[in-house]
Copies of this chain bind each other. A is one copy, B any other.
Amino acid sequence: MRIRDEDKIKRIYKAAICLISEVGIAGLTMAKLAKEAKLATGTVYIYFKSKEVLINKLFTKLQQEAAERFMQGMEKQSNFKQQLCRVFLNYLNHRIKYHDESVFLEQYYRSPYITKDQLQLTQALKQPVLDLFHQGQDNDELRCDMDVHMMFLMFLGFIRELAGEHVLGFYVLDEKKKLEAFERSWELIEKGG
């Protein structure tokens, strides 16, 4: 029964993301969720002990999936700038393509439901990107008079705003714009910029 089980969990997650993007975390009910996932309400409780547990696990799962996407294809790049560009675009495209998930993650991140542990994990998932910046500094690719965390926050915030406004239709991004956005960010942090 392994396969069917996994399938049900997937359906539950998918239904949750879909519904939350429509009605918010507040508006999500277990009845709606079960219906969307084509399950009985009771069945959901076989796989998740409570609504809270479900939301928590969904958060962790989505966060991990997102983190995996960020570094994808990076190692194939020829130089540091290209690597960073890859990460930049990965995250930007992720925020656009998985906008529903991103909104959920952000809402949850700033919600009272999040636990200390989850916050720590969130920080830990940023580490690979922070490491990349550190490496850049060590290899004289990035300026040294700006701390890595600040660079990172600038990158992150810029991307989030770009993606957010794009999804709402207030600032449309094509491939050229995306690259331009990266170039501007790069200018700011490159050695001798």
Contact = CB atoms under 8 A, between A and B. Distances in A.
A160 B159 CA distance: 12
Interface stretch (A59-67, A72-80, A81-89, A108-116): A108-116
Contacts of A187: 188, 193
Interface in A121-165: 123, 146, 149-150, 153-154, 156-162, 164-165
Given A107-B107, A170-B123, A154 B184 contact: yes
Contact of A158 (B25, B40, B153, B177): B153
A23 interface: yes
A23 B187 CA distance: 41
A181 interface: yes
Contacts of A193: 187
A160 B113 CA distance: 21
13 contacts: A25-B26, A26-B26, A27-B112, A103-B110, A106-B106, A146-B180, A150-B171, A153-B165, A153-B171, A154-B157, A154-B161, A157-B160, A188-B188
